[in-house]
Structure 1
Amino acid sequence: MAKPGGLVLGLGATGVSLAVLAARRRRELLDLSDHTALVTGGSRGLGFLIAGELVRQGCRRVAICARDLDQLARAQELLSADGVQVVALPCDVSDQRQVENLIQQVEERLGPVDLLVNNAGVIQVGPQAALTEADYREALDIMFWGVLQPTLAVLPSMRRRHAGHIVNITSIGGKISVPHLSAYSTAKFAAAGFSEGLHAELAREGIAVTTVVPGLMRTGSHLNAKFKVDGDYPLFALGASLPGISMDAERAARQIVVAARRGAAEVILSLPAKVAVRVNGVAPASVSRVLGLVARLLPAAPAQPAQASSGREVEQRKTNAGLRLATGLSRNAARRFNQTQL
């Protein structure tokens, strides 16, 4: 019969060996040269940059999908390079039939999906009282069901091969629910929960799942966000533009692809986002009280329901030279990352 001390030492040695092996594997980056990657919402912004970074880091078969045909065509042209197959396919990821057709087309043209990046998203900004059930449904359709459905579509093939990588782009809004982003945070919380659970369950099958938690980034997305109240636009645009608060999107894309190649469980992007997650984990009640004070300073809901406007439309109605100057970095990002023709 083994002595208790020897058993403890044996378990300790085994634990150390497993830790060393895990660390070694984390250092080894996946070779993308023989992989097929699919990026949803890949025609503009962060998705476009992730697709480009996959190409730069050696992926030779990349598929992107989105709803806007013109943006898809431009993205395909911009991403194309010698020796790289870039396939651009229209798809609404909230529609299960379209998703199933998308995966079928990618497999026929490029082969089984080895790396899936669920990135498609929509941002609705406004006080909770101004949001409708339709707003919540749209957010969940795109940012939860639009994550779940592509994942379920690629999993059977990945399970047969005992290999594959799934990357889910969530948000700091999926860790901390902030005022005037209620529908967005609801969907991102759901996506984060699904992604974290999936990572735990699929690890034994040889399939890696990475949950990406970006903070504010300079992608130009503020121009395409939907605003229920014009008064929300200046603060949102500044937050998505100013250095120190927002992160360079190209740097974020590089970190995401490296994390995917490592098979990391989670990556939180930007120092402010990391600090916010840690503080919320230690003192959630205090963070909630602070956010409650912030909510009091934000615009109130309109007396009558209003149609949401894109950030671009709000900017055209409320031209402000100072704001345009302060958001110059993000506006430049919008032009560079296929967000707009401005």
Structure 2
Amino acid sequence: MRRVGMLAWMALFGGAGYALARRLVRKPLAGVALITGGSRGLGLALARRLGLRGMRVVICARDEEELERARGGLEAEGIDATALPGDVRDDEAMRTLVADVEEHLGPVDLLVNNAGIIQVGPVEAMSLEDYRRAMDTMFYGAVHAAEAVLPGMRARRRGTIVNVTSIGADIAVPHLAPYDAAKFAMRGWSEALGAESAKHGVTVITVVPGLMRTGSFGHALVKGKRYAEATMFSLLASLPLVTVSAERAARRIVLAVERGDRFVVIGSPAKLARLVHALAPGAVIRLLGAVNRLLPGPTAEAGEGMALPAELYRRGVARSILTALGERAARRYNEEPA
């Protein structure tokens, strides 16, 4: 029994020592960072933070005007930034973009899969096309970008891929069904990729943030009772007690890259929600069912209308002091709709 006790103490101290070493030892940031969805929001916050830490930043997005504004803002802060238009849904386009980056700037040392869209509305309002669009952008888009950089990373036996998922990849939030589905798929793939890439010296970090205050609510695509959906989402994405600032999220993600973490949850509300769901998933689903009864219902033409930007439907409290923090974030992170 004494020997078992000694082994237990050795394991405890060994584990504590390893955890402490992981917190203290950080690898330096250097080389090229490619960030999809880097023209605004969390992607832009990450580009700024990585650039200020000395990395050569490449931001990728579909909107060239947005990209140029973002690049100009980064350049004004002394950050070495390159803006390249690209659509993550197109695997050939991503391979071409990565080849261009590696030819002119050097190998991609860090890939951040951050590109995404969000559709808000009841499940009755969502069409198959809404689900395909979400999957093509957030799941297949991440796969396309990763597949473009992985051959080089494996050959060099180094590199890091950061996959930004969501609390919606753990707990299916009502009125976000396409987003939930794509983020669940992205998280499963990310964890599997991380387990299989370690033997090649490649680190894959799965990031699970809670609601973030990026100012992106104007770009959310609403369906069903659009005014009500836009109001609800704008408020939830702005309130300080339920959201995490984009800057804080970016700091935590960069720290994870330095430490070589494999899984990161951002925000106390997200951590608490994951814990409760793990302990009592059935009770959480019943609670979400009760919450859903309070949310806007479908319209008569549910499933037939287009998903349109929430900015077109923000009225009253959705443009008040209650959304002031979100609107400030929108100005800082290039989220204000043109």
Q: 1:101 to 1:8 in 2, by over 3 A?
A: farther
Q: 1:277 aligns with which of 274, 277, 281?
A: 274
Cα displacement (A) at 1:87: 1.0
Amino acid in the other structure paired with 1:281? A
Amino acid in the other structure paired with 1:308? A
Cα displacement (A) at 1:228: 0.2
- Bigger drift between 157-166 and 183-192 goes to 157-166
Name structure 1 gaps, 5 residues minimum. Answer: none
User: For residues 177 and 244 of structure 2, what CA distance do their matches in structure 1 show?
Assistant: 22
What whole-Å deviation, never above 9, does each CA across 1:306-338 have from its counterpart, x for those lacking one?
2222111111xxx21574221011011111110
Match of 1:30 in 2: 27
1:50 aligns with 2:80: no
What whole-Å deviation, never above 9, does each CA across 1:106-159 have from its counterpart, x for those lacking one?
111211110000000000011111000000000000000011111111111111
Cα displacement (A) at 1:14: 8.1
Match of 2:89 in 1: 94
Q: Does the aligned pair in 2 maintain the 1:38–1:64 contact within 8 Å?
A: yes
User: For residues 145 and 82 of structure 1, what CA distance do their matches in structure 2 show?
Assistant: 33
User: For residues 289 and 7 of structure 2, what CA distance do their matches in structure 1 show?
Assistant: 52
Match of 2:207 in 1: 212
TM-score normalised to structure 1 length = 0.91
What whole-Å deviation, never above 9, does each CA across 1:223-251 have from its counterpart, x for those lacking one?
00000031212221111001111111111
Name structure 2 gaps, 5 residues minimum. Answer: none
- Matched residue of 2:26: which SS? coil
Q: Does the aligned pair in 1 maintain the 2:164–2:207 contact within 8 Å?
A: yes
Match of 2:313 in 1: 314
Cα displacement (A) at 1:21: 4.6
Q: Does the aligned pair in 1 maintain the 2:58–2:81 contact within 8 Å?
A: yes
Q: Does the aligned pair in 2 maintain the 1:239–1:245 contact within 8 Å?
A: yes
- Matched residue of 2:108: which SS? coil
1:237 aligns with 2:243: no
Q: 1:194 to 1:321 in 2, by over 3 A?
A: closer
User: For residues 287 and 168 of structure 2, what CA distance do their matches in structure 1 show?
Assistant: 15
Cα displacement (A) at 1:58: 2.5
State the Cα RMSD in Å. Answer: 2.2
User: For residues 4 and 100 of structure 2, what CA distance do their matches in structure 1 show?
Assistant: 54
- Matched residue of 1:144: which SS? helix
Amino acid in the other structure paired with 2:305? A
- Would you say how many aligned residue pairs link Structure 1 and Structure 2? 334
User: For residues 35 and 281 of structure 2, what CA distance do their matches in structure 1 show?
Assistant: 34
Q: Does the aligned pair in 2 maintain the 1:144–1:187 contact within 8 Å?
A: yes
Cα displacement (A) at 1:9: 7.4
Residue pairs, 1:1-342, within 5 angstroms = 20-21=17-18, 23-32=20-29, 34-59=30-55, 61-80=56-75, 84-229=79-224, 230=226, 231-304=228-301, 305-315=304-314, 319-320=315-316, 323-340=319-336
Q: 1:204 to 1:322 in 2, by over 3 A?
A: closer
After the TM superposition, list the runs of 4 or more consecutive aligned residues in structure 1 that deviate by more than 4 angstroms.
Answer: 5-19, 81-84
What whole-Å deviation, never above 9, does each CA across 1:157-195 have from its counterpart, x for those lacking one?
111111111100000000000111000000000001111
- Matched residue of 2:117: which SS? coil
Q: 1:266 to 1:336 in 2, by over 3 A?
A: same
Q: Does the aligned pair in 2 maintain the 1:40–1:120 contact within 8 Å?
A: yes
Q: Does the aligned pair in 2 maintain the 1:31–1:58 contact within 8 Å?
A: no
Q: Does the aligned pair in 2 maintain the 1:227–1:311 contact within 8 Å?
A: yes
User: For residues 81 and 54 of structure 1, what CA distance do their matches in structure 2 show?
Assistant: 15
Cα displacement (A) at 1:12: 8.6
Q: Does the aligned pair in 1 maintain the 2:163–2:207 contact within 8 Å?
A: yes
Amino acid in the other structure paired with 1:27? L
- Matched residue of 2:82: which SS? strand
TM-score normalised to structure 2 length = 0.92
What whole-Å deviation, never above 9, does each CA across 1:205-237 have from its counterpart, x for those lacking one?
221111111111111111000000312122211
Q: Does the aligned pair in 2 maintain the 1:335–1:341 contact within 8 Å?
A: no
